[in-house]
Each structure stands twice: as structure tokens, then as C-alpha cells.
Structure 1
Amino acid sequence: MKALVLAGGTGSRLRPFTHTRAKQLLPIANRPVVHYALQAIADAGIEEVGVVVGSHADEIRQAVGDGSAFGLRLTYLHQAQPLGLAHAVLIARDFLADDDFLLYLGDNYLEDGVAGFVRRAEEGRDAARLLLTPVPDPTAFGVAEVDGDGLVRRLEEKPDRPRSDLALIGVYAFTPAVHEAVRAVRPSGRGELEITHAVQWMVDHGLAVRAETTTRPWRDTGSVDDLLEANRHVLDRLEGRVDGKVDPDSVLVGRVRIAEGAVVRGSRIVGPVVVGAGAVVSNSSVGPYTAIAEDCRIEDSAIGFSVLLRGACVEGATRIEESLIGREAVVTTAPRPVHTHRLVLGDHSKVQLTP
């Protein structure tokens, strides 16, 4: 089995960050999201992976390389415009050949990986296998209607009246039967070739499409809130380790990882927290659930439940929470405004003004 990882797309829900970088490169616990996808694929025993890239192709190549760090062999496939998941399968036809393959959205985080899903797909060899999860608001997702035998009967893309609460989470296993399906479908109202339409075509033509459901932590990291939540999940599994410098006036509580080259002075850090190489934390309170990337600087500040990208600087902030702070961004206190008073006083008045 091969794998096809989608690492293109515009990432509109993560703007302005995605104006300058791919959404798959935003960090969870100081590692790009796409690294977790590639590691999950490697852990499932797949070795040959196609990576579909778009306008941020050079950044993806720089962050991922040839895949050898994960034990993978990568082939990069260029998608000139983000025209849908089924379109990505179309342009990958030569790479995929007649092999079964795993389709994996590169901005997804699954805590338990996909090893079990891949194994069951290889054993069953249904035309397609989908991974689903129950969600509180299915109108925001592709939704599957599944019968008592686990076979998919209907798929709908962001329905107004969902037939179930089972959402597609961006992990699919296909046999070569999918290639006829993606050639048969037409663009949706948003101008994309939808993978849900291709899978529905397979169902309508009598091909076996099976679903399995997970309730384990999963996040589509396409929004700030979901990225922060995925960061919390990963940090919950963090093991503490101090390779950098922590002075005697600092206190580390719980699972805190300080990378080599990082410096902590006169600060209190409550884990889980990760501090990247070259970062400096001084006279500050940090954590929990905070990831500080390489070369950041935090001074005279308090910050928690947040993600700071490389080179970010926070100075004099009384409290920052649930925030995503971009590369080289600077947060400082504003000058204190001059307080003035406008008075209209009658004769013989007496007024006391607080300083």
C-alpha cells in the first residue's frame, strides 16, 4: 500500500498565518503538523508516499525533505490550484499506479495514528474504507450514513439536515477502483472535485465502501482553536527533560521540556510546556499547555495555553491565553495613556482628584 498526503490548500481559516506559510507547517508542540501525519504513515508500515503540494511547495520540501527522517520515500506532486481532494487523486494517478493507497489530509492530527485502520483495510480490501468520528455539529463536515453492517449508504458534504453525526475526518483507504470514480464526478458548486462525490459514485455503482468509527482524539488543525487543542493533546503526552539552562531562581512544575540552548531565568513554568532551542524566558510565568518555539523571547510576562512560533517576542504582557503568535511577531505593552479630567465647576466647589 502507498500513501497520498495532501499538503496544499489555501488554509483560509488560519489567515493571516497561511499568507506566508503552509497550514501543514504550523507547529504542534514545536513540530509541524505534517510531521505527525508522516510519522503515523510510517508507523503503519507504509514506505512509499506521494505528497501533493501547492503554492508553498518549497517550504514543505524544506521541512520534510526526502522523507528519510521518517523512514519514507517521498515523491512530490504539484497541484497548481486547490481543486479538491478528488482532483489530488487525479493528478497522482501515475504515482499511485494500480496500488491500494491511504489518502491522508496533511493538516490532520490523530492521537492513535492509522496503523490499525491500514491493517484492516489491507485485510478487508473493500473498494474504499472511511474513518469517521461522531461530532456535535455535523453540518460543518462531510457526513456518512452507515448501515448496521458498517457499509456506507450515503455521503453528504456539509448537509443542512445531517442523517447522522458521523463526520469524515480526512483518512481514507482506496483500491484502484477509486480512479474511475474520480474521473466520473463533476465539479461541485464551489468548483472542486469532491472526494465525497467520488465515494458516493462508488456506492451508487455497487462497490463496497466500509466505515469504521473512532472516538479517540482527532483534530483538523485548520483553525486556531483546533490547532491549540491539538497542541494540548500532544503536550499531555510530553515527557519532561531539561537540556537547556535553568537558573536557581526559576521553578519548573510538572512535565517541562527545555531544549538545549534555551535559557530560563527568574521564571515559573508549569507544565506541560515545551521551550525550543535558543528561546529565552526571563522574569515570567509560563504554562500550562504552552509551546514556545526556537529563538522566542518572553520577558516580564505571563502566558498560558498558547503557541508561539519561531522568533516571537512577548514583553511586559500581564496575561496572554489561548493565543497563536506568529514568527518574529512582537507583543509589548502600550504606553500608558495620560489621564485627564474635564471639569465644569460652579463657584465655591471642592473636587478631589485621585492621582
Structure 2
Amino acid sequence: MKAVILAAGEGARMGPFTASEPKVMIPVGNRPILEYVVQALVDNGVQDVVLVVGYRRERILSHFQEGKAFGARIRYVTQTKQLGTAHAVAEARPHLEDRFVVLNGSNMVDARFVGDLIEQAKGPAVVITQSDRPRQYGVVTLQGSRVVSITEKPTQMISNLINTGAYALDASIFTDIERLAAEGKNDLPSAINAHAASQDVLALRTEGMWIDALYPWDLLRLNQAAIASTADVRAGTIESNVTIRGRVAVGDGCTIRSGAYLQGPLSLGAGCEIGPNAVLLPSTSLGRNVRIGALTTVANSILMDDVSLGASSVVQDSVIGSGVSAKAGLMAASGPADVKIEDEWHAVPQIGALLGEDAEFGSGVTIESGSIVNERTRVASGARIRGTVPAGGVVL
């Protein structure tokens, strides 16, 4: 069996975190989201993978290459125009045999999820799950265990059963894809609806993991899942009087200074430096070469590669892009906030700051909960930020 992974989209709702890389390459638990999908397939013996790429495809190609390092054999198909998910699958058709599975590269899944899809699907099938925000997805209407229809982002409540974007299909789907493409419909749910009108399409439920990230704050849920079972690893240099509790993975070349307190689960990439009396609290991941200043506290956050936080800073429930630099006293505390993404407001119960790559902050900067600072922004010392700062902006 072969697998198609859809990885061509930008992920515009991810705000500053897709400025230079596609959504599927955003790191959670210090690995790109897409890597978890590839691993779940390989763990089930599916090694032949067709990756449909598009936006910033070079980031995907350079990381995965031919797939050997991940136990896979990867072929790449470029979707030059992101017309839709059915169009993406059609682009992969020359590399597919009769039966194949389709997964979304920006959803975190585990081996059990993929295993249930492969083992339970004897014909066309869709994996469904329950959601507390079904109107953001395709809502599935069932007759017994059979799919009747998938309604994309309904305006009225239908049910809380949604399409996860994971499918088992065969070559017969291409007849429906081609017919609908001629009508200007290039989405896979429309093709599934047409398919379900002529043959049974099974709705599968699974106990496996499926976590989607629609918005930047959702990345924290993925990160929590990624590091929940992290291995306990002690590498690098750990000075005296350091306290480490729970499962903490310390990467090669890290230095943890005296008096630091680390409460797992935590994941520290290679080359990190944790300053004296700094505090790292659960569900935090640090990328490569992250610098945490003395007396700084970081909790439930993602700090990507080459981030530097000065002394006496506080960062909670935040996502910080690669190359961000902040001097002493950065305050990004968590709280409830209304956040605007693509002209739509969202009430987020608990969120800190969302900081885009290569942003620079002077000392004593305060960032109010839910604020978005886009990439390459410059913020002067003592500034207070509320709302959204555009890319390349200057805050005095």
C-alpha cells in the first residue's frame, strides 16, 4: 500500500509562523508536524509515500530528502496551484496503485490512528471524530456506519462528527475527481460525497491520536501531545544544584547553569543554554541553540531554533518563532484574550504571545495576552504591545 500526504498549503491562519516555511514544517516537540505523520505510516509498514508539496517546498525536500533517514521511500509531486485537496490527490495519481491512503500533513496522528485506517478499511473509508468546534470542519452525516455526506463548514449545527481528512481510497475515486474538476470542484469531500452516492463509504472511528492545529494557539496542544511521553535524556553539561523533575530530554551540547529548575515533560534541542536560577515548566519545548537568561521563567511554550530570552523574563502559553531575540525583562504572561486571525475574532481562554521569526525586543517589553508580533519586527525598550504588529514593523 502507498500513502499520499497533502503538504502543499501555506497555512495562512498560522499567522507569522508560515512566513518562511509551510504549516507542515512548524516544529512541535522539536520535530516538524509532518514528521509525525511519516513516522505513523512507517510504523504500520507503509514505506512508499507520495508527498504533495507546493508552498516553500524546498523546506520539506531538504528535511526529508528521499526519506531514507525516516525509514520511508518518498516521491515528491508539486501542486503548482493549490486548487484543492482532490486536485492534489489527482496530481499524485501517476505514482499510485489501486488502493492507497490519504493523510493531511498538518494533522498530528499516531501509529494507532493509521493502523485503524489501514486495517478496518476494506473499501473506501473516511476517519471521523468528534469535535467541540465542528463548524470549522467538514461535518459528516451518517446512516449507520456509512457516510451519507460531508458538509464543509456548515453555518448551522448538524452534528459534532467531523471529517479528519484521512481516507482509504482506490482508483475508482479518480472518476469522480475528474468529473467534479470539470465543474470547478476540486475538494476531496465533494468527491467523497459523489462516491458515496454510488457505493458504500465507511465511516471509521479510532482510539488513535488525531490533533489538528487550525490556529497558532492550537500548536500548544500539539506540543503537549508530542512531549507527553518524551524520553528522559541527560546530555551536555548540567552544573551543580540543578533540579530536574519528571521526563526531561536534554540535547547534546546543552548547558544548564547552577540553580536552574526544570519540571518535565520538557524537550531541549541541541546546544541550548539555560541560565542560573531559570525555571522551565511543563510542556515546553526549546529548539536548537536557545538561550534562556538567568531568573527567566518559561511555561507551556514553544521556542523555536536560535531564540534568546534575556534575564528575568516571563513567557507563558506562547509560541516564539526562530531567531527571536529579547533583552532582559520581557513579559509575555498568559490570560484570556480575543485574537484576530484573517479578519475573524476568536475568544481564546488562555494564551500568551505569538512572536514571529527574527523579531527583536529591547529590555522591559510587555506583551499583552493574545498579541501577535509578526516577523522581523523591532520593538524598543519599555514598549507595551497590544494587538497585532505587522511584519517588519517598528514599535517605539
Give the structure-1-normalised TM-score: 0.88
SS at match of 1:154: strand
- Letter of the 2:175 counterpart: E
SS at match of 1:16: helix
| Counterpart position of 1:101 | 100
Q: Where does 1:208-227 land on structure 2 (aligned, <5 Å)?
A: 208-214=200-206, 216-227=208-219
Q: Distance in 1 between matches of 2:147 and 2:155?
A: 19
SS at match of 2:229: coil
SS at match of 1:185: helix
Could you tell me whether the CA contact under 8 Å between 1:143 and 1:162 is conserved in 2? no
| Counterpart position of 2:18 | 18
| Counterpart position of 1:81 | 81
Could you tell me whether the CA contact under 8 Å between 1:219 and 1:227 is conserved in 2? no
| Counterpart position of 2:191 | 198
SS at match of 1:182: helix
| Counterpart position of 1:174 | 169
**In the TM superposition, what is the alpha-carbon distance from 1:76 to its structure 2 partner?**
0.4
| Counterpart position of 1:319 | 314
**In the TM superposition, what is the alpha-carbon distance from 1:13 to its structure 2 partner?**
1.1
Residue 268 (structure 2) pairs with residue 268 (structure 1): no
Identity %: 28
SS at match of 1:46: coil
- Letter of the 2:280 counterpart: V
Could you tell me whether the CA contact under 8 Å between 1:30 and 1:293 is conserved in 2? yes
Residue 141 (structure 2) pairs with residue 145 (structure 1): yes
| Counterpart position of 2:359 | none
Change beyond 3 A, Cα 1:315–1:335: closer
Q: Distance in 1 between matches of 2:229 and 2:90?
A: 38
**In the TM superposition, what is the alpha-carbon distance from 1:238 to its structure 2 partner?**
1.2
SS at match of 2:41: helix
Could you tell me whether the CA contact under 8 Å between 2:15 and 2:216 is conserved in 1? no
Q: Distance in 2 between matches of 1:40 and 1:335?
A: 43
Q: Distance in 1 between matches of 2:312 and 2:151?
A: 46
Q: Distance in 2 between matches of 1:5 and 1:268?
A: 40
Could you tell me whether the CA contact under 8 Å between 1:107 and 1:222 is conserved in 2? no
Give the structure-2-normalised TM-score: 0.79
Q: For each residue in 1:169-210, what CA deviation from the matched residue of structure 2 results, as whole angstroms up to 9, or x when unmatched?
A: 12111011111111111489xx76111100001112x21100
**In the TM superposition, what is the alpha-carbon distance from 1:222 to its structure 2 partner?**
3.7
| Counterpart position of 2:342 | none
Q: Distance in 2 between matches of 1:269 and 1:179?
A: 52
| Counterpart position of 2:338 | none
Could you tell me whether the CA contact under 8 Å between 2:21 and 2:59 is conserved in 1? yes
Of residues 286-295 and 104-113 in structure 1, the stretch that sits farther from structure 2 once superposed is: 104-113
Q: Distance in 2 between matches of 1:52 and 1:216?
A: 24
SS at match of 1:234: helix
* Bigger Rg over Cα: 1
- Letter of the 1:56 counterpart: R
**In the TM superposition, what is the alpha-carbon distance from 1:335 to its structure 2 partner?**
4.7
Q: Distance in 2 between matches of 1:200 and 1:221?
A: 25
Residue 227 (structure 2) pairs with residue 235 (structure 1): yes
- Letter of the 1:105 counterpart: N
| Counterpart position of 1:350 | none
Q: Distance in 2 between matches of 1:238 and 1:18?
A: 26
SS at match of 1:242: coil
**In the TM superposition, what is the alpha-carbon distance from 1:316 to its structure 2 partner?**
2.6
**In the TM superposition, what is the alpha-carbon distance from 1:217 to its structure 2 partner?**
3.7
**In the TM superposition, what is the alpha-carbon distance from 1:310 to its structure 2 partner?**
0.6
Q: Distance in 2 between matches of 1:56 and 1:131?
A: 28
2:243 aligned residue (251, 254, 257)? 251
**In the TM superposition, what is the alpha-carbon distance from 1:162 to its structure 2 partner?**
3.6
Q: What runs of 5+ residues in structure 1 fail to find an aligned partner?
A: 339-355
CA RMSD of aligned residues (A): 1.8
Change beyond 3 A, Cα 1:114–1:146: same
Q: How many residues align?
A: 329
**In the TM superposition, what is the alpha-carbon distance from 1:215 to its structure 2 partner?**
5.2
Of residues 112-121 and 36-45 in structure 1, the stretch that sits farther from structure 2 once superposed is: 112-121
Could you tell me whether the CA contact under 8 Å between 1:45 and 1:115 is conserved in 2? no
Q: What runs of 5+ residues in structure 2 fail to find an aligned partner?
A: 330-361, 365-380, 383-396
**In the TM superposition, what is the alpha-carbon distance from 1:280 to its structure 2 partner?**
0.6
Q: Distance in 2 between matches of 1:312 and 1:82?
A: 32
Of residues 20-29 and 112-121 in structure 1, the stretch that sits farther from structure 2 once superposed is: 112-121
Could you tell me whether the CA contact under 8 Å between 1:133 and 1:215 is conserved in 2? no
Residue 27 (structure 2) pairs with residue 27 (structure 1): yes
Change beyond 3 A, Cα 1:132–1:77: same
Change beyond 3 A, Cα 1:322–1:192: farther
Could you tell me whether the CA contact under 8 Å between 2:113 and 2:207 is conserved in 1? no
Q: For each residue in 1:281-310, what CA deviation from the matched residue of structure 2 results, as whole angstroms up to 9, or x when unmatched?
A: 112111211000111111121101001111
**In the TM superposition, what is the alpha-carbon distance from 1:216 to its structure 2 partner?**
4.5
SS at match of 1:119: helix
